[in-house]
Amino acid sequence: MAIPTIDLAYGALGLALVAVVLAIWGLTSAARVRRRYLSAFGDERPENVEQLVAALHERLDASLDRFDGFDGRLDGLESRMGQAINRVGLVRFNPFMDTGSDLSFSAALLNDHGDGLILTSLWGRDEVRLYAKPIQKQDSRYVLSQEEKQALDMAKNDRGAGNLLVKGSS
Protein backbone atom coordinates (compact mmCIF):
# COMPACT_ATOMS: atom_id res chain seq x y z
CA MET A 1 0.00 0.00 0.00
CA ALA A 2 1.36 3.35 -1.02
CA ILE A 3 1.38 6.39 1.21
CA PRO A 4 -0.73 9.14 -0.26
CA THR A 5 1.19 12.24 -1.29
CA ILE A 6 -0.93 14.50 0.84
CA ASP A 7 -0.12 12.53 3.99
CA LEU A 8 3.55 12.69 3.10
CA ALA A 9 3.32 16.47 2.65
CA TYR A 10 1.62 16.87 6.05
CA GLY A 11 4.29 14.73 7.69
CA ALA A 12 7.05 16.75 6.07
CA LEU A 13 5.35 19.99 7.14
CA GLY A 14 5.06 18.71 10.70
CA LEU A 15 8.73 17.74 10.78
CA ALA A 16 9.68 21.14 9.33
CA LEU A 17 7.66 22.93 12.05
CA VAL A 18 9.36 20.86 14.77
CA ALA A 19 12.75 21.67 13.20
CA VAL A 20 11.92 25.40 13.12
CA VAL A 21 10.80 25.35 16.77
CA LEU A 22 13.98 23.50 17.78
CA ALA A 23 16.12 25.94 15.77
CA ILE A 24 14.47 28.97 17.41
CA TRP A 25 14.90 27.41 20.84
CA GLY A 26 18.58 26.67 20.09
CA LEU A 27 19.23 30.23 18.87
CA THR A 28 17.60 31.80 21.93
CA SER A 29 19.58 29.47 24.21
CA ALA A 30 22.82 30.38 22.44
CA ALA A 31 21.99 34.10 22.68
CA ARG A 32 21.27 33.71 26.40
CA VAL A 33 24.59 31.92 26.94
CA ARG A 34 26.41 34.62 24.96
CA ARG A 35 24.82 37.37 27.07
CA ARG A 36 25.85 35.55 30.24
CA TYR A 37 29.44 35.25 29.00
CA LEU A 38 29.57 38.92 28.08
CA SER A 39 28.06 40.06 31.36
CA ALA A 40 30.41 37.80 33.31
CA PHE A 41 33.56 38.84 31.47
CA GLY A 42 33.13 42.59 31.16
CA ASP A 43 32.06 45.18 28.66
CA GLU A 44 34.23 43.86 25.85
CA ARG A 45 32.19 42.83 22.84
CA PRO A 46 34.28 40.27 20.97
CA GLU A 47 32.94 38.67 17.87
CA ASN A 48 33.37 35.17 19.28
CA VAL A 49 34.20 33.30 22.45
CA GLU A 50 37.79 32.68 21.34
CA GLN A 51 38.43 36.42 21.14
CA LEU A 52 36.86 36.83 24.58
CA VAL A 53 39.12 34.16 26.08
CA ALA A 54 42.17 35.70 24.39
CA ALA A 55 41.30 39.17 25.74
CA LEU A 56 40.77 37.77 29.23
CA HIS A 57 44.10 35.95 29.01
CA GLU A 58 45.87 39.20 28.10
CA ARG A 59 44.20 41.00 31.02
CA LEU A 60 45.22 38.18 33.36
CA ASP A 61 48.85 38.43 32.18
CA ALA A 62 48.82 42.20 32.73
CA SER A 63 47.35 41.71 36.21
CA LEU A 64 50.01 39.15 37.08
CA ASP A 65 52.74 41.54 35.92
CA ARG A 66 51.29 44.29 38.13
CA PHE A 67 51.08 41.84 41.03
CA ASP A 68 54.75 40.93 40.59
CA GLY A 69 55.59 44.64 40.64
CA PHE A 70 53.62 45.11 43.86
CA ASP A 71 55.31 42.08 45.37
CA GLY A 72 58.73 43.58 44.65
CA ARG A 73 57.71 46.93 46.10
CA LEU A 74 56.37 45.21 49.22
CA ASP A 75 59.69 43.42 49.73
CA GLY A 76 61.49 46.76 49.49
CA LEU A 77 59.10 48.40 51.95
CA GLU A 78 59.45 45.55 54.42
CA SER A 79 63.23 45.84 54.19
CA ARG A 80 63.12 49.59 54.77
CA MET A 81 60.58 49.21 57.58
CA GLY A 82 63.12 47.19 59.58
CA GLN A 83 65.39 50.24 59.51
CA ALA A 84 62.69 52.66 60.70
CA ILE A 85 62.63 53.87 64.29
CA ASN A 86 59.72 52.02 65.84
CA ARG A 87 60.80 51.17 69.38
CA VAL A 88 60.79 53.96 71.92
CA GLY A 89 61.57 54.17 75.61
CA LEU A 90 61.34 57.43 77.57
CA VAL A 91 62.43 58.10 81.16
CA ARG A 92 61.79 61.47 82.79
CA PHE A 93 63.82 62.30 85.88
CA ASN A 94 65.16 65.01 88.14
CA PRO A 95 68.99 64.96 88.12
CA PHE A 96 69.45 67.80 90.61
CA MET A 97 68.09 67.92 94.12
CA ASP A 98 67.75 71.72 94.13
CA THR A 99 65.17 71.78 91.31
CA GLY A 100 61.57 70.82 91.75
CA SER A 101 60.45 68.91 88.63
CA ASP A 102 61.16 66.03 86.29
CA LEU A 103 62.15 68.17 83.31
CA SER A 104 65.13 66.06 82.27
CA PHE A 105 64.70 62.94 80.14
CA SER A 106 66.42 60.08 78.38
CA ALA A 107 64.79 58.76 75.21
CA ALA A 108 65.92 55.60 73.45
CA LEU A 109 64.89 55.39 69.76
CA LEU A 110 65.57 52.02 68.10
CA ASN A 111 64.70 50.09 64.95
CA ASP A 112 63.91 46.36 64.74
CA HIS A 113 67.62 45.51 64.59
CA GLY A 114 68.38 47.33 67.85
CA ASP A 115 70.13 50.24 66.12
CA GLY A 116 69.34 53.87 66.86
CA LEU A 117 70.25 56.46 69.46
CA ILE A 118 69.66 57.69 72.97
CA LEU A 119 68.92 61.36 73.54
CA THR A 120 69.40 62.71 77.05
CA SER A 121 68.38 66.20 78.06
CA LEU A 122 69.55 67.61 81.39
CA TRP A 123 67.52 70.59 82.51
CA GLY A 124 69.06 73.09 84.91
CA ARG A 125 67.97 76.52 86.08
CA ASP A 126 70.44 78.33 83.86
CA GLU A 127 70.85 75.94 80.94
CA VAL A 128 69.69 72.80 79.17
CA ARG A 129 72.17 70.28 77.83
CA LEU A 130 71.38 67.67 75.20
CA TYR A 131 73.46 64.55 74.67
CA ALA A 132 73.17 61.90 71.95
CA LYS A 133 74.70 58.43 72.07
CA PRO A 134 74.60 55.96 69.18
CA ILE A 135 73.18 52.49 69.77
CA GLN A 136 74.18 49.46 67.70
CA LYS A 137 72.71 46.01 68.32
CA GLN A 138 71.02 47.25 71.52
CA ASP A 139 74.29 48.44 73.05
CA SER A 140 76.37 51.61 73.13
CA ARG A 141 80.11 52.04 73.05
CA TYR A 142 79.63 54.93 75.50
CA VAL A 143 78.90 54.52 79.18
CA LEU A 144 75.15 54.83 79.80
CA SER A 145 73.59 56.41 82.86
CA GLN A 146 70.99 54.53 84.89
CA GLU A 147 68.17 56.46 83.19
CA GLU A 148 69.62 55.81 79.73
CA LYS A 149 69.84 52.08 80.52
CA GLN A 150 66.21 52.12 81.64
CA ALA A 151 65.11 53.91 78.48
CA LEU A 152 67.09 51.42 76.37
CA ASP A 153 65.52 48.44 78.16
CA MET A 154 62.07 49.95 77.62
CA ALA A 155 62.76 50.44 73.92
CA LYS A 156 64.04 46.86 73.56
CA ASN A 157 60.73 45.56 74.92
CA ASP A 158 58.52 48.07 73.09
CA ARG A 159 56.07 46.69 70.50
CA GLY A 160 55.03 50.01 68.96
CA ALA A 161 53.03 51.58 71.80
CA GLY A 162 55.91 53.57 73.31
CA ASN A 163 56.93 53.46 76.95
CA LEU A 164 57.17 56.23 79.52
CA LEU A 165 58.58 56.11 83.04
CA VAL A 166 58.66 59.06 85.40
CA LYS A 167 60.95 58.57 88.36
CA GLY A 168 62.26 60.68 91.18
CA SER A 169 59.25 63.03 91.34
CA SER A 170 59.37 65.49 94.18
The secondary structure of the chain, three-state, reads CCCCHHHHHHHHHHHHHHHHHHHHHHHHHHHHHHHHHHHHCCCCCCCCHHHHHHHHHHHHHHHHHHHHHHHHHHHHHHHHHCCCCCEEEEEEECCCCCCCCCCEEEEEEECCCCCEEEEEEEECCCCEEEEEEEEECCECCCCCCHHHHHHHHHHHHCCCCCEEEECCCC
| Same-domain pairing of 72 and 109 | no
Pick the closest to residue 164 from 91, 85, 87 (CA basis).
91
User: What pLDDT shows up at residue 135?
Assistant: 96
Amino acid in position 81:
M
- Picking from 37, 57, 80, the residue at the C-terminal end of a domain is 80
Total number of domains constituting the chain: 2
| Mean of the per-residue pLDDT values of the chain | 84
Please give the average per-residue pLDDT across 143-158, as a whole number.
92
Amino acid in position 110:
L
| Same-domain pairing of 100 and 44 | no
Which carries the bigger pLDDT value, residue 17 or residue 102? 17
User: What pLDDT shows up at residue 169?
Assistant: 42
User: What pLDDT shows up at residue 170?
Assistant: 38
Q: Are 134 and 119 in contact (CB under 8 A)?
A: no
User: What pLDDT shows up at residue 166?
Assistant: 59
Query: pLDDT tens digits, residue range 71-118?
Result: 888 888 888 888 888 899 999 998 877 766 788 999 999 998 899 999
| Same-domain pairing of 122 and 98 | yes
| Same-domain pairing of 13 and 34 | yes
Tell me which of 12-16, 65-69, 85-89, 159-163 is least confident: 159-163
- pLDDT over 70 percentage in the chain: 84
The rounded distance, in Å, linking the Cα atoms of 18 and 83 is: 77
User: What pLDDT shows up at residue 56?
Assistant: 80
- Picking from 20, 52, 80, the residue at the C-terminal end of a domain is 80
- Picking from 36, 57, 80, the residue at the C-terminal end of a domain is 80
User: What pLDDT shows up at residue 163?
Assistant: 59
Domain range for 108 is: 87-166
| Same-domain pairing of 16 and 42 | yes
Q: Are 168 and 93 in contact (CB under 8 A)?
A: yes
- pLDDT over 90 percentage in the chain: 40
User: What pLDDT shows up at residue 1?
Assistant: 58
- Side-by-side strand order, sheet with 87-93: 128-135, 116-123, 104-110, 87-93, 163-166
| Same-domain pairing of 31 and 66 | yes
| Same-domain pairing of 26 and 50 | yes
